[in-house]
Amino acid sequence: MQTSTIKKPTYVSSRNACKLCAPLGASLVFKGIEGCIPMIHGSQGCATYIRRYMISHYKEPMDIASSNFSEESTIYGGNRNFVQSIDNIRKQYSPKVMGIASTCLSETIGEDIPALIAEYKDKNQDDTDLPLFVHAATPSYQGTHMDGFHEAVLGAVKSLAEEGEKEMRINLFSGFISPADIRGLKEMMKDFGVKYTLFPDYSESLDNPCWKDYHLIPEGGTPIEEIRAMGKAAGTIEFGTVLNKGSLVGRILNKNGCVSAGEWLQNNFFIENHNMIMPVGIEATDRFMMTMESLTGTKMPEKYILQRGRLVDAYIDSHKYVFGKKAMVYGEEDLVIALCSFLAEIGITPAIIASGGESGILKKELISRSLIDPEKTMIMAGADFESMREMAQEIRPDILIGNSKGYYIARELGVPLVRVGFPVHDRVGGPRIKHLCYEGTQELFDRIVNALLEYKQEHSPVGYKYM
């Protein structure tokens, strides 16, 4: 068993938590709905923090509204701010959809946002330009940004999906992935020749071309009609096995067997949900492709057979450079599980696995899928970066794989960091990093191999130009 000389901490505080706030995740989903403006029902600081954080990663304008709580709102309630904010947003943006996320403050004082929405709609029932409303309960004390993300996905599906006669259509809940990965999945769906709804789709709204004039609401996002059509699909594919099971809402709903959007559609519209880990690596991508073949009746297109073959060849060519290396892998729980599946294929041992998620099932998922050797791996759930730093100083991994918030740990250890996921604040191109399927895995594999080669070359006493 892996042993540690680090004493059990006597404190309960987090020191630079390995997670973000729940409304941030919800805001990302709302940016993936066509014609939608996110609104944070709470203080101005919450919206400002989320805007600043997302702008640094996506390098795009980020309009996120706020009901702008004051001390008075906190004491007497925020209903007046709520109505005024919606009126102001409608006047300035004319949105098709308003995505409303709660905050710690509004939830703590007991704001009933569904009731506020119903009251607003009732008072404006003759208004033909009234937007659609989607609500997500996202106080950060009940979970992480990933819980907020999946609560917003579930909220949108519950609000908009409509039951109807089944058609050859696939629902794809792709999870918190990069715009580049979303574009890759959309291309794949077209190559299979099937109707589909991918949600959320922020591939254009958060990775825009250069504009001549500023767009108040960027183009892109999953069309409302496609979200409505989700209730008519032949099947659903949902990436992730943790999803929002770590949130307070998730824990309550899980007792009734209904947590995620895919499970909700299965329970209410009888659409079979094919749940799987994110397709990073050959084995996970093979399962995704086989599911696509089963649902569509179409064989995997030749271009993906070739991509798979090139990836297998790359594994063979570079296996000797990666086998036996130790990695510290960190980030969202579902991303970490997918990365560990990939690392198991290439022979890298995840010596430290860390996530700020607190679902309580991360270790179980990793062990049940035989992705790690529990004798050789330290798993840190609900982790903060300072605890991760202390563990890394003891175990001394060869490489870090995670977001840019861990850079100071890699710098202190003198080892490479391969940036994946969100956020990437200290490099350009965060929205264009690919992780998924054969092509994304190929790019990730090359980056890991080259990072290890560069480290070895830079620390060699001899300057060499050939491997």
CATH number of the structural domain spanning residue 388: 3.40.50.1980
On whether both 194 and 341 belong to a single domain, the answer is: no
pLDDT of residue 68: 82
pLDDT of residue 42: 85
Residue with tokens 């399962």: 287
- For the segment 416-448, what is each residue's pLDDT rounded down to a tens digit? 999 999 999 999 999 999 999 999 999 999 999
pLDDT above 70 covers a percentage of the chain that reads 93
pLDDT of residue 245: 79
Which range has the worst mean pLDDT, 28-37, 212-221, 267-276, 277-286? 212-221
pLDDT of residue 312: 98
The Cα-based distances of 455 to 60, 330, 331, 450 in angstroms read 33, 20, 23, 8
Q: Report residue 4's pLDDT band, with 50, 70 and 90 as the boundaries.
A: very low
Between CA 109 and CA 182 the distance in angstroms is 38
On whether both 418 and 314 belong to a single domain, the answer is: yes
pLDDT of residue 6: 47
Encoded tokens for 385: 């970066």
Per-residue pLDDT averaged across 86-98, rounded? 95
Per-residue pLDDT averaged across 252-261, rounded? 67
- For the segment 205-228, what is each residue's pLDDT rounded down to a tens digit? 999 888 888 889 999 999 999 999
Between CA 323 and CA 451 the distance in angstroms is 14
pTM for the whole structure: 0.93
- Residue 403 placed within a domain: yes
On whether both 248 and 381 belong to a single domain, the answer is: no
257 pLDDT higher than 70 = no
Cα torsion through 189, 194, 199, 205, rounded to 10? 60
- Residue 139 placed within a domain: yes
Q: Report residue 3's pLDDT band, with 50, 70 and 90 as the boundaries.
A: very low
76 pLDDT higher than 80 = no
Q: Which residues contact 55 (CB under 8 A, 6 or more apart)?
A: 61, 62
**402 DSSP β-pair partners:** 419
On whether both 167 and 314 belong to a single domain, the answer is: no
pLDDT of residue 264: 95
On whether both 269 and 311 belong to a single domain, the answer is: no
Q: Report residue 71's pLDDT band, with 50, 70 and 90 as the boundaries.
A: confident
On whether both 169 and 224 belong to a single domain, the answer is: yes
- For the segment 333-364, what is each residue's pLDDT rounded down to a tens digit? 999 999 999 999 999 999 999 999 988 899 99
What is the span of the domain harbouring residue 330?
302-458
Between CA 258 and CA 151 the distance in angstroms is 12
On whether both 272 and 347 belong to a single domain, the answer is: no
Q: Report residue 77's pLDDT band, with 50, 70 and 90 as the boundaries.
A: low
169 pLDDT higher than 80 = yes
Q: Which of 146, 129, 132 is nearest to 100 (CA)?
A: 132
Q: Which residues contact 250 (CB under 8 A, 6 or more apart)?
A: 143, 147, 150, 151, 243, 244, 259, 359
pLDDT of residue 376: 87
pLDDT of residue 320: 96
pLDDT of residue 5: 45
Per-residue pLDDT averaged across 73-93, rounded? 84
In contact, 60 and 187? CB cutoff 8 Å: no
The dihedral sign for the CA sequence 236, 237, 242, 247: negative
On whether both 271 and 357 belong to a single domain, the answer is: no
pLDDT of residue 78: 73
Dihedrals φ, ψ of 401, to 5°?
Answer: -130, 110
On whether both 73 and 202 belong to a single domain, the answer is: yes
Sheet holding 273-276, edge to edge: 195-199, 169-173, 235-239, 273-276
On whether both 264 and 355 belong to a single domain, the answer is: no
Q: In 3-state terms, what secondary structure has residue 302?
A: helix
Q: Report residue 73's pLDDT band, with 50, 70 and 90 as the boundaries.
A: low
- Residue 286 placed within a domain: no
On whether both 50 and 165 belong to a single domain, the answer is: yes
pLDDT of residue 81: 87
On whether both 309 and 235 belong to a single domain, the answer is: no
14 pLDDT higher than 90 = no
- Residue 285 placed within a domain: no
Between CA 36 and CA 29 the distance in angstroms is 10
What is the overall mean pLDDT for the chain?
Answer: 92
Q: Which of 186, 208, 210 is nearest to 197 (CA)?
A: 186
pLDDT of residue 45: 86
- Residue 283 placed within a domain: no
pLDDT of residue 252: 59
In contact, 441 and 425? CB cutoff 8 Å: no
CB-facing half-sphere around the CA of 129: CA atoms within 13 A: 8
Q: Which residues contact 268 (CB under 8 A, 6 or more apart)?
A: 163
- Residue 13 placed within a domain: no
Query: What's the total number of domains in the chain?
Result: 2
Between CA 91 and CA 415 the distance in angstroms is 52
Per-residue pLDDT averaged across 135-140, rounded? 90
In contact, 261 and 173? CB cutoff 8 Å: yes
Q: Which residues contact 451 (CB under 8 A, 6 or more apart)?
A: 399, 416, 417, 418
